[in-house]
Amino acid sequence: MAQQQQPARTVCVTGGGGFIASWIIKLLLQRGYTVRATVRDPGDKKKNGFLASFESASQNLTLHKADLLDYDALSSAIMGCEGVFHVASPILARDEVGFLDPAIKGTLNVLRACHEAKVKRVILTSSVVTTIFDPNRPVDAIVDESYWSDIDYNRKHEQWYTLSKTLAEKAAWQFAKENELDLVTMLPALVFGPSLDSTINPSNSILYRLVTGVSLSEYNFSYGYVHVKDTAEAHILAYENPIASGRYLCVESVLYFTDLLEYLEKLFPNYTYNKRCFEEMTTSGFVPGKFSNQKVVNLGIRFTPLEQTLKETILDFKEHGFIN
């Protein structure tokens, strides 16, 4: 008897043209999923055209126009999907409202659409920033998934991105609890790695600025780093593993920015680095964090070492002609 072919599993990825989302889409297509990607302008070939070049895209990928504040558009993209990866969120916005509204209302729009569509599981891309900014956190704490950034503290310091991610994730958990929605959140550190389009996204631009001698007007706090492909894979593992639940920190290594600079100089001595010492971060909420990555490792992630991540990212800059 002829074996029955399993129907392709249909999932939606929000913000499909983004750095992390496009990697998630590429890996999902490789795994045989049918993917509906939401983008703000499907007609913008310069921004989203690269998605069509992914293996199986012509049969298994469709683009759906949806702003995060447009419930109806999100709902029509999500209806009929078995799972949703909600990745889109403002990274660079002009002001508080520009960050908070699409992040929080947008997340609730996506989750409401998922609830109505009876989606089996939602993976929300949160961030490590939702865990580390708390003035009461002990300096030597090993941050795990039980930690949360302090809302008032972030508001007071006008950390709108951190606030947007923290409030969005909190709102998501509240919604999931009230509506019995299966939600899993992924909390990546600073994500580096090759871009699938031909741009330098905001997190890679930090690396770009370091290797082009631009001094970052950043404080010297330590940060966690992770490869973009590992980040995408972690999202999919969290989606596919029936026992995955709760929050997952996704961090490969932790380094002070100054140490990252030294490390880069060792790996790529031919570039000029700006050695101006970064201002030491003294505010207690921003003290260095150590992260536990045990939970995501238990999901099956084998992290790419930072050295390899940096090499691949720099090579990508070269291939795109951003640096020599």
Which CB sits closer to ligand NAP, 188 or 285?
A: 188
Rg of the chain (C-alpha set): 20
Q: Is 321 left (phi over 0), alpha (psi -120 to 50) or beta?
A: left
Place of tokens 């100054």: 258
Which CB sits closer to ligand NAP, 74 or 299?
A: 74
Using DSSP's 3-state secondary structure scheme, residue 183 falls into strand
Q: Which of 299, 297, 191, 298 is nearest to 237 (CA)?
A: 299
Q: Nearest residue by C-beta to ligand NAP? A: 18
**Residue 20 engages ligand NAP in binding (rule: CB under 6 A):** yes
| Widest Cα–Cα separation across the chain | 71
Which CB sits closer to ligand NAP, 17 or 194?
A: 17
165 catalytically annotated: yes
- Distances from the Cα of 294 to the Cα of 66, 186, 251, 298, 299, angstroms: 35, 13, 10, 6, 9
Question: Which residue among 11, 13, 15, 83 contacts ligand NAP (CB under 6 A)?
Answer: 15
Q: How far is the CB of 270 from ligand NAP (least distance, A)?
A: 26
Pattern 36-55, binding to ligand NAP, x per CB under 6 A? ----x------x--------
Q: How far is the CB of 139 from ligand NAP (least distance, A)?
A: 23
**Residue 17 engages ligand NAP in binding (rule: CB under 6 A):** yes
Using DSSP's 3-state secondary structure scheme, residue 15 falls into coil
Q: Which stretch binds ligand NAP (CB under 6 A): 130-138, 199-207, 213-221, 307-315?
A: 199-207
Mention every residue, 6+ apart, whose C-beta is less than 8 A from residue 189: 128, 223, 224, 225, 226, 249, 250, 251, 252, 254, 291
**Residue 88 engages ligand NAP in binding (rule: CB under 6 A):** yes
Active-site position among 165, 266, 290, 318: 165
Report d(CA 223, CA 234) in Å as an integer: 19
**Residue 163 engages ligand NAP in binding (rule: CB under 6 A):** no
Using DSSP's 3-state secondary structure scheme, residue 262 falls into helix
Q: Which residues contact ligand NAP by CB under 6 A? A: 15, 17-21, 40, 47, 67-68, 87-91, 102, 106, 125, 127, 165, 188, 190-191, 201-203
Catalytic residues: 165
